[in-house]
Chains A and B, each alone.
Chain A
Amino acid sequence: MEKVLSVNNVVKSFHQPEDFQVLKGVDFEVEKGEFVSIVGKSGSGKSTLLYILSTMDTDYDGSITINGNNVTGVKQNKLAAFRNEHIGFVFQFHFLLPEFSVIDNVMLPALKWGKKPIDVLRERARELLRMLDVTGQEEKKASLLSGGQQQRVAIARALINDPTIIMGDEPTGNLDSKNTKNVFRIFRELSREQGQTIITVTHDNDFASNCDRVIELKDGQIVNQ
């Protein structure tokens, strides 16, 4: 199987308010099309790890390779373009741009990439929103949607560029069980049928147990994978 992500001995420390090692040598690999859950107690370093994997946090020791590209030590401007193409990210708190319409929020990463004509993108965005069960809201301002709806819009946004890896920090944290199941089903399909890799942090045992693999973090170290 093809490796999509390999994490080699990643160490991350915070120096404020005091020196504190959050990740103490994390090592693992993820294959193409794998659906992986990261679990662990609150404060165990799951979010910190995910920010590093997403290339947004570059302040760590060790090395990371994504899709054959070494991303450690690469300049932020290059990483931005890399993220745009290869990584879809769903934040723990559904962050949308409140002044933009729902559909514009979904389309923004694709508009930034500029690979496809705008009407194709618009159609694709509608389709994603339909898939996530947010219909009839496309032209509304994002700030007017409920928390659950916003989170699903954020998931649609993460999918718009068909990224190699989709990362989520508790992407279903705000959803009811029906929508959680739906999102799980979508992720499952994307990984099986499109070969996209999914890495999500979750507290939902049900959600985790149905994944291909569960990685458990404890005090900044992998204790189980």
Chain B
Amino acid sequence: MNTNNKIAWTHLTSKIQQLVVAVLSVTFGISMYIFMNGFVGGINTAFDDITFSTMAHIRVYNDLPNDEPSLIPHTTNDTIQFIHNARHIKYTEGIKNAQKIIQIAKGFTQVTAVTEQINQNVFFRNGITKVSGNLSGIDVENEDKVFGISKYMLKGHIYDLEKRNDGIVLGSGLAQSICVNVGDNVTLTTADGTHKSFKVLGIFESGASATDKSKAMISIRSARQLFSKNASYASDIQINVRDYNKVEKVSTKMAKMIPYKVESWKEGNSQLESSSMLRNILAMVISISILTVAGFGIYNIMNMTVNEKMREIAILKAMGFNGKDIVHIFLMQSLCIGIIGGAVGMGLGSLIIYIVRQIPYKIASFTSLPVAFRLIDYIMAFFFGLIVTIIAGYLPARKASRIDPVEILRG
């Protein structure tokens, strides 16, 4: 063993109690870092789950044209144009040939799932209670791929919609407000005044309460019948991509190929992005503060060690150890503390995550508190832990290296 390391090791092991305290402070810091970031990561995943249970990464729909063309071409300056009671007229409604759009979307390698929907506002009625809400005609299999709806079913099975033309699945809040349960009937009234009765096959709860209070789903075939649309009609096409953070890349390309409005989830939802970022920052700040406190722990203990060992440092210098050797000896001690504390801290952090994950808590599709196990948290914890130990260890080590041996030895 290198002589400096041997000295460092002797110093470390001759004061076991101090060593344990220093190691524990690092252990605490590292485990808290891992837990905090894992917890926030889990919460972000849960929120993403909720967000994307009702919203796809890209939505294609028929929008009103943004630019209003002039009805009469501009003429000379001495003519006054006067248009009375101008109106927008939507010539086409919805997407006439949804299949073609779906094919285009599937042509992108980043696209993972595509589904078509018919969304309309309707009235739900059971006896005298009448509630307005959104009816979604869905292609069950693809809908499940995009939104994972089968995860959110409280009662019944979503795939039953494919078996019965008059089947309906309701959001939990909606079912409650019109007092129905699985097996009961609901009457739908469309904007055109058509009435039709449906049988409740299931109840879902996405966790987004606005959705759960207003949404119902029927099969897209029944929806086409109900709204008397042709076989390839859809009001929306919903598309998921591999990485929802990089959705704009796909959506801008797609927009050039599709003659409808192509909208990524980020448009109008920037608050979702910033809130998850804020949570991440908060977790970072808290955990780095904890690590800094741990750093002060190391600093204190190393400082004490240096003060206690003034005479020995002077002797070492008198025997021919130079400033670098002294820095090496004391920095090595803090590094050992940091590495041992870091390793134990990772174990403790994993244990805390494991325990907290057992605590029952209902959010999105989770039944207990969501905490993520992420390799990156471990790497970062170790990295920050090491930086903190090096800084906290270097300052006392430098102080030690600057001790003037004569001053100490003169006595």
Contacts and interface: CB of A to CB of B under 8 A. Distances in A.
Interface of A: 47, 51, 54, 56-57, 76-77, 80-85, 89, 91-93, 95-100, 104, 108-109, 111-114, 157
Contacts of A95: 311, 314-315, 409
Nearest to A75: B322
A77 B11 contact: no
Contact of A109 (B320, B406, B410): B320
Contacts of A98: 312
Interface size band for B: 20 to 34
Nearest to A78: B322
A223 to B, nearest CB: 23
Contacts of B321: 80, 84, 112
A90 to B, nearest CB: 10
Interface string B396-411: 0000000001100111
Nearest to A84: B320
B103 interface: no
A92 B3 contact: no
B289 to A, nearest CB: 35
Interface string B147-169: 00000000000000000000000
Contact of A111 (B6, B10, B311, B410): B6
Nearest to A113: B320
A56 B319 contact: no
A57 B11 contact: no
B96 interface: no
Contacts of B317: 56, 80
A76 B406 contact: no
A156 B316 CA distance: 15
A175 B295 CA distance: 47
Q: Top 10 A-B pairs ranked by shortest CB distance?
A: A84-B320, A80-B322, A99-B14, A111-B3, A77-B322, A57-B406, A109-B319, A83-B320, A95-B315, A51-B406
A159 to B, nearest CB: 12
Contacts of A114: 3
B231 interface: no
B318 A89 contact: yes
A51 B10 CA distance: 28
A81 B318 CA distance: 10
A104 B14 CA distance: 15
Nearest to B323: A77
B61 to A, nearest CB: 75
A81 B314 CA distance: 15
B100 interface: no
Contacts of A51: 406, 409-410
A157 B325 CA distance: 19
B366 to A, nearest CB: 53
A104 B323 CA distance: 21
A56 B322 contact: no
B409 A91 contact: yes
B324 interface: yes
Given A85-B320, A108-B3, A56 B410 contact: no
Contacts of A157: 319
Interface string B11-52: 100100000000000000000000000000000000000000
A112 B10 contact: no
Nearest to B407: A57
Interface string B304-342: 000000011011111111111100000000000000000
Contact of B318 (A56, A111, A113): A56
Contacts of A93: 411
Contacts of A108: 3, 7, 316, 319
B324 A77 contact: yes
A81 B320 contact: yes
B326 to A, nearest CB: 10
Interface string B80-99: 00000000000000000000
A157 B323 CA distance: 21
Contact of B320 (A92, A104, A112): A112
Interface in B266-325: 311-312, 314-325
B14 A47 contact: no
Given A89-B318, A108-B3, A108-B319, 14 more contacts: A51-B406, A56-B317, A56-B405, A56-B406, A77-B324, A81-B320, A81-B322, A84-B320, A96-B315, A97-B312, A100-B10, A109-B320, A111-B6, A112-B3
